[in-house]
Amino acid sequence: MSWVDSIKRKVRWDSWANAITLLGDLTSDKTRRHLPIYRAFVAPSYGDALLYSDGFGRILCEELPRAALSQGWDLTYDGDSDGDERAERESAIREQLKQLQARDKLLRAKVWGRQKGRGGLLLGIDDGRPADQPLDWERVKSVDYLEDLEMDEFSAHEIDADPKSPTCGEPLSWKVMRDGASRAILVHTSRIILTGGVLTARRVRRENQYCDASVFDAPWDDLQGWDQDRSSARSMMADASQFILKIKGFLDVLASSDKSAFQERIELLRLGRSVANVLTVDADSEDANYVDRSFSGVDAILNMDQNCLAAVTRTPSTVLMGRSPAGLNATGDSDLSCWYDQIRSYRTNDLAADVTTLTRISAFAAEDPEPSAWGVTWPELWQMTAVEKADWRAKVAAADDLYIAAGVLKDNEVRLARFGGAEWSDQIPQIDIEETGEELESEKGEEPTETTETTPASVEADVPASVAENAVPPNSALNGAQVSALLEVVGQVVRGELPRASAVEIIITAFPVDRPTAERILGEVGKSFEPKAEEPAAAPGAPPTPGVTPPALAPFAEKTKAAAEGEEPEPEEK
């Protein structure tokens, strides 16, 4: 076999190898020898050590579920009750959640699942059936307890082998042996809320006794390296400064058989430093000083380890290391934003179904008539300051005013939405569908206003330019120009230049008034009101109308009338 064939046998056909330098050869190129290997899962004992004895292991295992559940959850209702009855039922459910310690028990179960790949929450529900039978929600009588289970406290008993079942290959029942119990019991999987670790293939889970991979498995090397580097840095700090005493002829002293003089000298040095903090040395034959150790590059290595650990654990450095960001314009908002996004994802994908189940279990315990009508929603993670809250409430109030003025919402609907609960809320007001539907039907049933002309299909086309230019937003007072524009619209109706119906549409479109107000503004214009007829002007050169004094002769006519009655005329102003 030639040396070329030997290289071909050592490398993949879809890779490259240099036949001369042997770069790319698996046996000669050291850069090709660093290959990923499949390592067995972290032993449960190491998981205990990381959770209970390592601070960073505890943060990695506990911080995400604790942050997601720290605010609890809010209840939603999709039923028929409203008002005081709904508030009373919600209070009863919350009291049951508190008595069952649902939040704390779920947190513990989630931590056990992340630590060793499997945890659980045992549901002590009495439905009149044995524990190894599926849970019947229609026959639930009471909820006696909730109990969190560690991986060592339950194991798979019966596996679903039906190829058409959605849970094929998964345990149907578990053998539960709680710590301190006298015997084990068989529990159907529907009576346990299972919690796990990270995403794991079904084959790997089966090989690992139906456990997921722990959150410690993938970052194991990084956790190990981070702890080793920190320990090495601490060891260097212990020897950071070393005291050196130089004695002339020290080797001769060691070679001599009598070392008593040297020992006495060392004892005097020790006593001087401990009593008076004074070190006396001979100026000619002795010298004492400290030698400092160099720490150049250690901080860079530790920072690199921190960044790698934060990356593989998907935990921001601000959370993992508990430190504020440093640097110019560094606020940490990006780290918090990523962290909050991860918490929202964890709430949606890992907690929502379990929390909903616990809420409905508590509804059964509270003897609620509609347990399935209750759901959950999560509070916001960002917490506003007092100033931000006041500004937000002012903006919401301004938006509510606009909706009320436009007729979209009513006062009582906004009042219930904002102040109907225990504290102020910015939730969307609920509209009374039945009442709104009746109002819409009544508006459809109103007869149109009788006019001599039909309403144009497009009102915007008939809006005068003066009116369009002076249109104002709602809740604004009219100025002089706007009043003049409004009078111009009324004048056009009086002169017969604009139909009354069109004028109404123009007024409610261009001015902050509703339809009844526009009708009151027009009054009888366009109905029974008729404008005063103007006298026709005389043609040029025509004789004056008998009995009618022309405007130009009016002053002379007044003087003549006064003289005839014996009154002195008023003098003319010059």
Tens of pLDDT, residues 403-414? 888 888 888 889
The pLDDT of residue 18 is above 80: no
Question: Per residue in 98-147, pLDDT tens?
Answer: 999 999 999 999 999 999 999 999 999 999 999 999 999 888 888 999 99
The DSSP result for 311-359, as a single string, is HHHT--HHHHS-----STT---HHHHHHHHHHHHHHIIIIIHHHHHHHH
Which carries the bigger pLDDT value, residue 566 or residue 208? 208
Look at residue 216 in the predicted model and tell me its pLDDT: 93
CA angle 372, 375, 379 (to 5 degrees): 170
User: How far is the C-alpha of 60 from the C-alpha of 197, rounded, in Å?
Assistant: 12
For residue range 58-108, list pLDDT tens digits in order.
999 999 999 999 999 999 988 887 778 888 999 999 999 999 999 999 999
Chain centre to alpha carbon of residue 136: 36
155 DSSP β-pair partners: 175
Average pLDDT over residues 383-387: 84
Q: What is the mean pLDDT of the chain?
A: 80
Asked if residue 11 has pLDDT above 80, the reply is no
Kindly state the tokens that stand for 188.
């159907």
pLDDT at 67: 94
If we measure between CA atoms, which residue out of 323, 320, 312, 302 comes closest to residue 230?
302
pLDDT greater than 90 at residue 24: no
User: Which one is predicted more confidently, 454 or 186?
Assistant: 186
pLDDT at 457 (0 to 100): 42
Sheet holding 118-126, edge to edge: 142-149, 118-126, 192-196
Q: Which amino acid is at 336?
A: L
Nearest residue to 90 via CA among 472, 490, 413, 366: 366
Look at residue 168 in the predicted model and tell me its pLDDT: 92
Residue 528: the pLDDT is: 67
Rounded mean pLDDT, 347-369: 92
Domain residue extents for the chain: 3-32, 42-234+301-323+332-383, 387-445, 460-522
